[in-house]
Each structure stands twice: as structure tokens, then as C-alpha cells.
Amino acid sequence: MSFTPMIQQYLQIKQQYKDSILFFRMGDFYEMFFEDAVNASKLLEITLTARDGGAGKKVPMCGVPHHAAETYIARLISKGCKVAVCEQVEDPKEVKGLVKREVIRVITPGTVIEGQCLEDKQNNYLASVLGESGCFGLAYTDVSTGLFMFTEYTGENAVTEVMDEVFRLQPSEFLAPGSSSGFITNYLGQNKNAVITTIDEENYKYENCLKLIKDQFGADWVQEESVSLKLGVRAAGAILNYLLETQKRTLQQLAAPKVYFSNQYLKIDSSSRRNLELTKSIKDGTRWGTLIWVLDYTSTAMGGRLLKLWVEQPLVNVHEINMRLDAVEELSKNLLLRKRIKDYLKDVYDLERLASKVSYGTANARDLLALKKSFYLLPSIKMALVSCEAELIVKIEQSLDEMKDLMNILSRAIADEPPVSVRDGGIIRGGYHPEVDRLREASRSGKDWLARIESEEREKTGIKTLKVGYNKVFGYYIEVTKSNLNLVPEYYTRRQTLVNAERFITPQIKEYEELIMGAEDRLTQLEYDLFTELRQKVCAEVPMIQQLANKLAVLDVLISLAEAAQSLNYVRPLVNNSNRIIINEGRHPVVERVMGAGEFVPNEARLDRENRLILLTGPNMAGKSTYMRQVALITLMAQIGSFVPASSAEIGIVDQIFTRIGAADDLAGGRSTFMVEMSECTEIVKKATSESLIIMDEVGRGTSTYDGISIARALVEYIHNTIKARTLFSTHYHELTDLEELPGICNYTIDVREKDETIIFLRKVLPGKVDRSYGIQVAKLAGLPELVLSRAKNFLIELEENKTHNSHKKVISAGQDQKSCKNCSSKAIVEELSRIDPVRMTPMEALNRIASWKEKLENQHGIENKLLKDINIFSKN
């Protein structure tokens, strides 16, 4: 038994692309076979058929028309598949038997550049991570824009820092050497939508990587970093290798990998990032209700993406921040200028992604036209900026290239309304190329001739209804109705019979037909050639276009921030290194926006070295969480270079923001609320410095009251005495307010009034404390029935009378809680063990598995020990 030659060819190619769905070009279709066909037919909801595969065997098959392939590929990519596109690389007309086929590109979630798979205002990252003895190299790229970055993490927090960065990036595809499976599983626990591609260790070798990068980007590629950041270089090299292997082209759009360091930016760990809802809401992962949702007034896709980067990476350098603020201030004061530039920017296309399409050779005439239309606006934009004084804008104005040459050639060459396809002609504008004009003329005059033939033949034959027509199969013909057939002359040759008419040709018609068709064929070919030549020219300018795109993006973001500042009534913060945070009449940017202007009650905040910890008490629903997030967001906004929702603000730069907010269960991750809470606290305790801002919202809520109070108290003390970071700490345990004895701690509360057993929230933060929780009043507001409420009141009275517990005893029970958690993880391991089939594992896999269990247990231990230690230290104080 053997398969047909075609299926054999298929299998041979498929062998090299095992983890992709192979799109096998056959004529006008891409066909899929075997398992690919079964899977793809389900994912794409197309019919699964079968084909004779030779030796009497049926092979499962499904297919999609080639002209619609992009849509189908997009759908597969969005479901996390990879697609290997295999084309016929010989003209079937010119070969006997099997045509040669080759995979011309593998499209993967991290390498798509097609618009259908991409979000306008979001980068699409392919990331690569490499870990060795506790250090990590990280590189990432966005092939659709050309961005390519790398960095390295060392020191005791390296693992969590690299995870935090990966969390920020949310890559859609992830490359890693086979050996780092533990790290990846860990990451996957948090982020289910990235595709993981395991890379051969060989491709992570330093020498290979360095050579590859130099070959691609020139031998003088920054040498300092390449020596000092070997892991980063290796991660970048692996990416480059993967791109070259899958994309099979020169990747003109890719910038040389650029090094960056995490301390250039405000550090925000992943849970704080999630909690602060900067670009993604916790509830459903959308933009609605996030900081960027409030701030985004950008007009271009490039600006939208850059704003997201700025929001995700606030700065720490006072000078850089003030440069941005200067520009925002200038633009915010000049409404007319802003409006004028916005009007221009609205008509600028996504230059970065157009540039990528050009360098991929997939740009069509409409794409080049879009470039031309964008370039056309540059002189006006430049002109509008001339009067500006802010350094950042002046720099943009002075270095903005107007792309005149490219603009001119594109204007002369491309027709006003070219078709989508680049193979059908109609692309090149008249007057650009003499041969194009001549061929067009030939085809046009041929058509005129044919029109003349119609009237001549009518006269000659006396058939008044005689018509000259055209169809694809028979070409040009003369049509005569049945009733006139008797008048048809000798020299007509019959070609086709219809119900009411017959169609004929004449030698003369054939002659013109050849002229017209010949001209048209040559014309479309020539237009195609001229077009690709143009595309090549544009391709050579891709780096220029990218620089231009970047400048316009910065301009767009600055205008967007100015626009937000104006329409939302924000002020310029004073940004310095004072270690103070002083906010007058501050508002929460998102809550305010949702409520509507004027509804939100503004509040003060005052933190400095002396008064560095605000202990905020107040009943549920008073507004504690809102207030604390507001302080964090205002600080962060200032460091982005944005104006802030306040009447005035001074922000002494913070190096990190930590937020421990709310009780979000990480059920999927297998951790209870309390466990999540405590691991987040561990992170804070480990990483925070005296320059950080810490927000802790009701820590200890996840466990029993006395455990909770003890842990909260110990944490407050530790942060105050040892870390000395600026901190907002909310609690509904009013027992903690006696901590005020410590010099840097101030009690604040949110004002509420009680009226006829009902509670009224005034939302005003004031110095002072509450001595009760108002839980029952809040429950009443929520509509709990009177019967339940009065029972609750009785219980409360009883409880308050019996309150004689010893908190130290309870501290120990916190440890017991931990033990039950440890049991959870042992249980998980036992369960995993029972599912494993040792016979089907390689020794390496088994070793890895054991190592990951050990890690799990040790992590658990670490947290426990740390906690117990901390608790003991504090309770002794």
C-alpha cells in the first residue's frame, strides 16, 4: 500500500511543520488533510470530506478558497493555532505531473501582521524567556510594528520581576527552551491565552544568537550590552531565529533589539497592575472602566498603542516626566492648535503596520495609497507645530521628515481608486509610464473598433438588432436573434446557441480580440511589475517611516493627554523627588467619569517622610477602597506625564506601587483568598523600599477576626518601622487605631452620619477614627429583612459583652491556617502523581516533574516560615 504522489508530498512537508495546520495549495484552494482536516473543519465550521489517498484509502480533507484564506487563517490564529501556508512554487501549466510546493510562511499568534488578527490600539507580542541559575533574559517583539526589546533580571526578585514584566506584555506567543517548563507552567497558571512554543536549546546558544543578530542588523550592533546581558541577547537571538525560520523573509521592518532596564520605569507587580485596572478591567478584561479608557483621546492607532505603553510604563525620572508635562501643558492651553493637529492626525493611517506590510511584500496599492495620503498631511502638521515651545514638541517639529520624495512618486504612480488585488491592473495612474499608457490606448481603441464593427455589420446584413458582445469563454462575438438567422452571411462562424439567439465570430473580430486581450494581459503584468518596484522603493524607506510613525504617535499621545486634562478638569502636578504626596481635592479618575462630573466628593491626601502611613478606618461602603486607589492612580498618572484629577498636587516620585486590594479568589490557581492575600503581602514586604507607595486594603479579611487583626497590626508595624514607605492602610478593624502612637502613623476616617438607624455616607476623609463598624446599618441599606437585622443586633450586643480574647494565642492559629494550605498543595501533588503514567515518561520529564513538586512545596514553606517569623517578630515588639 502506498499513498498517491500528491499525498506523499503532503506528508513529507507536514513532517516539518508538525505543530502547525498545513494549508496545502491546490489550484484555487488551500486543502487540509488527515488530523489537520478534522481539527480545522471543527474550528472553522466547514465541511469535512474525504479524498482518495491511494491504495484504496480515504483521507479526511477540507478546504478553503484561496481568496478567502486570510479570514480563515485569522480565525485559526485567534484560536491559538499556527498555520503553515504551502504554495505551488511552479506553474502547473508548465510542468508535467506533480508541481513543486513549499511552505512560504508560518503564521502564528505572535507573528501575524494581518489586520484581521490585530487590535488597532494594542501591540501583539512574541516573547522569549530564558532562565539560568536564578537569572532571566527576556526579549519581545511586535512584528506588526517592528518593535524589538530585551532585558535581563538578576537578584533575589528576578523570578517575580520577569513574571511581572511578562504579565504586563501579555504576549500572544511565548518562546522558551524545553528545560524551562516549570517557569512556563507557572506563567500559564495566570495567563491562559498565550501559545507556548518550545525552542531547541541550540537556538539559545550565545555565540549563535550574537552571530544571527549581527548578520541581521550589522556587525556594529551594540556591543556593550551584548557582552553584559548575555541572557537577554540569547532570548533575543532565539526570537530572531524563530522569525527567520517561520516568516522566511528578510524582516526589513524589524528594528535592532534594544536594551532596557526595569528600573527605568515605575515598577508595578502583576497583582497591583491587575488591581489598579490600568488597561484591562478585572471584571471582564475589557477597556471599559480602566484608566486608559478615561485617558484615551488619541486619533491614530499608533498613538493608541503608545498611550497604552506609557500608561503601563510610567517613568521615574523627574526630568523626563516634566518634559512630558511641559508639552501637555502647552497643548492643553492651546485649543485651536490642538484641534488643528487632531484634524490632521485623524486622517493619518497606521504607518507602523503599513510599513510592516510593505516589508512583508503583502501591501497592496490601497496600502501605498494610505501611506501617500498620510504623508500628504506632514507639511501641515509641521507647520502647525512651528509656534510650540515645549522641548518635546520642538524636537518632533524639527526632526519631522516630510517624506516628499516618496510622497511625490506615490502621487504620480498610484491611481485614485486602485482595486484590492494587485494582479488585476487598474493600479497605475495615467502619465506615469509610457508603455502603460500605450497599452491602455491599444485596448481602448480595440474596443472602439469593435463598437464600429457593430454598426458596420448591421448595415451590411440589414440585421437591426445585431450586437457585439463579450464573454469569458468565447471572447468577443456577434449575436443574432433567431428570427434574423436567415440574414446571417457566409463568413460568420457559429460559436454558441442560446434559446433566442445564436452567437458568431468573424476573422475581423478575432483579430481585434487578440489585440485587445494581448494589450490587457501585458498591461496587467506591467502594472504588477511597476507596483512591486514601487513597493520595493517604499520598503527601502521603512526605517524612516517607522521613525515618522513614532514621532506622530508621541504627538498624538501628548495631545490626547492635553485633551483629557482640559475636558476632565485635571491640573498639572508638581513632580519632584521630595518624597511627598500632597493632593488637594483629589478625585478618582474612573469613578468620577462613571458617576459624572460634580457627583464625586473630592478628598485630600498628605504623605511625607514624617507622616508616612495613613491608617484609614470606616464602615463598609464608606469609600475607603476608592480613596486609596485614587491616591495610587493620581501618583501613577503624574509619573506618566499626565495631568491629574485634583485642584493641586505635589508628587514626589515613587519607585514602585504596591496594591493589595479586595479579596479576589484565585480559584483556578488553587489558592484560597487568604493565601492570595498573604502571598501578595509577602511580595510587598520583600520588595518595597522607602521610595515606594503601598496601598493595603483590608488585609486580613480572609481569615478569622483575631488572626486578621494580628496580621494587619504586624504588617503596619513592619512597614512603618522597617520599610518606611509611604502607605495607605485601610481596615475595618477599628482596634488598630491605637497604632497612632507610632510617630509616622496618622488615623483617618471617612465621615458617616447616622440618622434614625440609617447610615449616610458623606465620603469625606477626615483625621480621626471610628469606633464601630456600622455593619448592620450597611446590611440594612442592602435590604436585608428586618427579622434578620434585629437578630444580628442581639448577637452583636452579646459578642461585645464577651470580648476578652487574647490576640497572641490567635497568632498561632494563623500558622494552623497555613498548615491546612500546605495540605492543599500536597494533595494537589498526590493527585497529579496518581494521574501520571511513568511508562510513558522520559527520565527527563520525570525529573522535571519532581523538581516542580519540590518547588511547590518549598514555596509553600518559604511563605509559611516567613509569615511565622514575621508574626513572631512583631508580636514580640
Ligand X SMILES: Nc1ncnc2c1ncn2[C@@H]1O[C@H](COP(=O)(O)OP(=O)(O)O)[C@@H](O)[C@H]1O
Binding positions are: 618-625
Find the shortest distance in angstroms from Cβ 614 to ligand X: 14
Phi, psi of 67 (to 5 degrees): -70, -15
Judged by CB under 5 A, which stretch of 87-95, 303-311, 617-625, 813-821 contacts Mg ion? 617-625
**Angstrom distances, CA of residue 683 to CA of 112, 146, 860:** 36, 34, 14
If one asks whether residue 621 binds ligand X (CB under 6 A), the answer comes out as yes
What is the total residue count of the chain? 877
Round to whole Å and give the CA distance between 38 and 47. 9
* Set of cell numbers at residue 582: 500632597
The answer to whether 117 and 74 are in contact (CB under 8 A) is: yes
The answer to whether 638 and 578 are in contact (CB under 8 A) is: no
The answer to whether 280 and 286 are in contact (CB under 8 A) is: yes
Number of residues that bind Mg ion (CB under 5 A): 1
If one asks whether residue 737 binds Mg ion (CB under 5 A), the answer comes out as no
* Set of cell numbers at residue 249: 523573509
In the bound state with ligand X, the residue whose beta carbon lies nearer, of 447 and 734, is 734
The Cβ-side half-sphere exposure at 325, using a 13 Å CA radius, reads: 24
In the bound state with ligand X, the residue whose beta carbon lies nearer, of 553 and 695, is 695
Residue 138 CB contacts under 8 Å (≥ 6 apart), including other chains: 127, 128, 129, 130, 150, 151, 152, 153, 162, 165, 166, 232, 235
Find the shortest distance in angstroms from Cβ 649 to ligand X: 16
Residue 856 CB contacts under 8 Å (≥ 6 apart), including other chains: 825, 828, 829
If one asks whether residue 696 binds ligand X (CB under 6 A), the answer comes out as no
In the bound state with ligand X, the residue whose beta carbon lies nearer, of 625 and 818, is 625
State the amino acid at position 825 in one-letter form.
Answer: S
> Binders of Mg ion among 221-280, rule CB under 5 A?
none
In the bound state with ligand X, the residue whose beta carbon lies nearer, of 626 and 639, is 626
Number of residues that bind ligand X (CB under 6 A): 13
Find the shortest distance in angstroms from Cβ 145 to ligand X: 38
Find the shortest distance in angstroms from Cβ 29 to Mg ion: 58
Judged by CB under 6 A, which stretch of 23-31, 90-98, 113-121, 624-632 contacts ligand X? 624-632
- List the alpha helices (DSSP H) in 541-596: 542-567, 589-595
How many other C-beta atoms are found inside a 10 Å radius of the C-beta of residue 14?
Answer: 22
> Binders of ligand X among 740-799, rule CB under 6 A?
763
Residue nearest to Mg ion (CB): 625
In the bound state with ligand X, the residue whose beta carbon lies nearer, of 546 and 730, is 730
Find the shortest distance in angstroms from Cβ 335 to ligand X: 29
* Set of cell numbers at residue 1: 500500500
Round to whole Å and give the CA distance between 732 and 620. 7
In the bound state with ligand X, the residue whose beta carbon lies nearer, of 585 and 608, is 585
Q: Which does 374 bind (CB under 5 to 8 A by kind): ligand X, Mg ion, none?
A: none
Pick from 625, 710, 747, 749: which binds Mg ion (CB under 5 A)?
625
> Binders of ligand X among 315-334, rule CB under 6 A?
none
How many other C-beta atoms are found inside a 10 Å radius of the C-beta of residue 128?
Answer: 31
Find the shortest distance in angstroms from Cβ 625 to Mg ion: 3
How many other C-beta atoms are found inside a 10 Å radius of the C-beta of residue 781?
Answer: 15
Find the shortest distance in angstroms from Cβ 600 to ligand X: 4
Round to whole Å and give the CA distance between 643 and 568. 10
Residue 689 CB contacts under 8 Å (≥ 6 apart), including other chains: 655, 656, 723, 725
Find the shortest distance in angstroms from Cβ 624 to ligand X: 3
H or E, element range at 229: none
Judged by CB under 6 A, which stretch of 142-150, 189-197, 308-316, 617-625 contacts ligand X? 617-625
Phi, psi of 15 (to 5 degrees): -50, -35
Find the shortest distance in angstroms from Cβ 289 to ligand X: 11
In the bound state with ligand X, the residue whose beta carbon lies nearer, of 136 and 774, is 774
Q: Which does 124 bind (CB under 5 to 8 A by kind): Mg ion, ligand X, none?
A: none
Per-residue contact flags (x/-) with ligand X for residues 22 to 61, judged by CB under 6 A: ----------------------------------------
Judged by CB under 6 A, which stretch of 1-9, 159-167, 541-549, 618-626 contacts ligand X? 618-626
Q: Which does 242 bind (CB under 5 to 8 A by kind): Mg ion, ligand X, none?
A: none
If one asks whether residue 601 binds ligand X (CB under 6 A), the answer comes out as yes
Q: Indicate the pairing of strand 101-107 with strand 83-88.
A: antiparallel
Find the shortest distance in angstroms from Cβ 623 to Mg ion: 8
Pick from 624, 687, 720, 780: which binds ligand X (CB under 6 A)?
624
List % helix, strand, coil for the chain (3-state, nearest 5): 50, 20, 30
Round to whole Å and give the CA distance between 740 and 796. 27
Which of 73-84 are b and which e, b meaning 16 or more Cβ less than 10 Å from the residue's Cβ? bbbbbeebbbbb
Q: Which does 600 bind (CB under 5 to 8 A by kind): Mg ion, ligand X, none?
A: ligand X
Find the shortest distance in angstroms from Cβ 564 to Mg ion: 26
Judged by CB under 5 A, which stretch of 622-630, 638-646, 668-676, 812-820 contacts Mg ion? 622-630
If one asks whether residue 625 binds ligand X (CB under 6 A), the answer comes out as yes
In the bound state with ligand X, the residue whose beta carbon lies nearer, of 537 and 763, is 763
In the bound state with ligand X, the residue whose beta carbon lies nearer, of 604 and 817, is 604
Find the shortest distance in angstroms from Cβ 623 to ligand X: 3
Pick from 303, 425, 623, 744: which binds ligand X (CB under 6 A)?
623
Q: Which does 591 bind (CB under 5 to 8 A by kind): ligand X, Mg ion, none?
A: ligand X
Q: Which does 605 bind (CB under 5 to 8 A by kind): Mg ion, ligand X, none?
A: none
State the amino acid at position 637 in one-letter form.
Answer: M
DSSP-derived letter for residue 671 is B
In the bound state with Mg ion, the residue whose beta carbon lies nearer, of 625 and 710, is 625
If one asks whether residue 660 binds ligand X (CB under 6 A), the answer comes out as no
Q: Which does 43 bind (CB under 5 to 8 A by kind): Mg ion, ligand X, none?
A: none
Round to whole Å and give the CA distance between 737 and 713. 10
In the bound state with Mg ion, the residue whose beta carbon lies nearer, of 108 and 625, is 625
Round to whole Å and give the CA distance between 297 and 308. 12
Inter-axis angle of helices 434-461 and 507-540, to 10 degrees? Answer: 160
Residue nearest to ligand X (CB): 623
State the amino acid at position 127 in one-letter form.
Answer: A
Find the shortest distance in angstroms from Cβ 697 to Mg ion: 6
Find the shortest distance in angstroms from Cβ 699 to ligand X: 13
Which of 699-727 are b and which e, b meaning 16 or more Cβ less than 10 Å from the residue's Cβ? bbbbbeebbbbbbbbbbbbbbbeebbbbb
Pick from 345, 557, 591, 678: which binds ligand X (CB under 6 A)?
591
Binding residues for ATP: 618-625
Round to whole Å and give the CA distance between 571 and 555. 20
Pick from 8, 496, 620, 682: which binds ligand X (CB under 6 A)?
620
Which of 249-282 are b and which e, b meaning 16 or more Cβ less than 10 Å from the residue's Cβ? eebbbbbebebeebeebbbbbbbbbbbbbbbbbe
Q: Which does 763 bind (CB under 5 to 8 A by kind): Mg ion, ligand X, none?
A: ligand X
H or E, element range at 807: helix 807-835
If one asks whether residue 818 binds Mg ion (CB under 5 A), the answer comes out as no
Judged by CB under 5 A, which stretch of 138-146, 238-246, 623-631, 748-756 contacts Mg ion? 623-631
In the bound state with ligand X, the residue whose beta carbon lies nearer, of 322 and 747, is 747
Tell me which residues touch Mg ion (CB under 5 A): 625
Tell me which residues touch ligand X (CB under 6 A): 591, 600-601, 603, 618, 620-626, 763
